[in-house]
Amino acid sequence: MPKLLRKGDGQPLRDEMKRQKLTLDELSVKTRTVDPEGRGVSPATIGRLTGRGRTARDRCELNTAWLIAEGLDARMHHLFSMPTQSTVTEERSRIDAEEE
């Protein structure tokens, strides 16, 4: 499964958290309440997705994005996007690779 990309370097996530007056810890708790497994998303992961510094991350798993969007009660496509399609047009098989 491809990873999702945060939009606007995380600005939509920061804006929604600010609008709801949520801290990283509070959003983490909300993600636990919507997670069927009860694990949620850690404050550190949320911080990396909302961050702007060296530790900021642009990509996350679909499940992580879904839990954050549900925790914020926001539309996922406002916060995250799918990566662009690959430009690879030729499929390779193991046999093809061995022939070279």
Q: What is the full per-residue pLDDT of the chain (100 aa) written as tens digits?
A: 678 999 999 999 999 999 999 999 999 999 999 999 999 999 999 999 999 999 999 999 999 999 999 999 999 999 999 877 655 555 555 555 555 4
85, burial (CB in 10 Å: exposed 0-12, middle 13-18, buried 19+): exposed
In 3D space, the residue among 15, 46, 14, 10 whose CA is nearest the CA of residue 28 turns out to be 46
Please report, for the chain, the start and end positions of each structural domain, with discontinuous segments joined by +. 4-84
pTM check: above 0.95: no
3-state secondary structure of 59: strand
Q: According to CATH, what is the number of the domain 4-84?
A: 1.10.260
Q: How far apart are CA 88 and CA 8, in angstroms?
A: 26
How many DSSP H helices and E strands does the chain contain? 6, 3
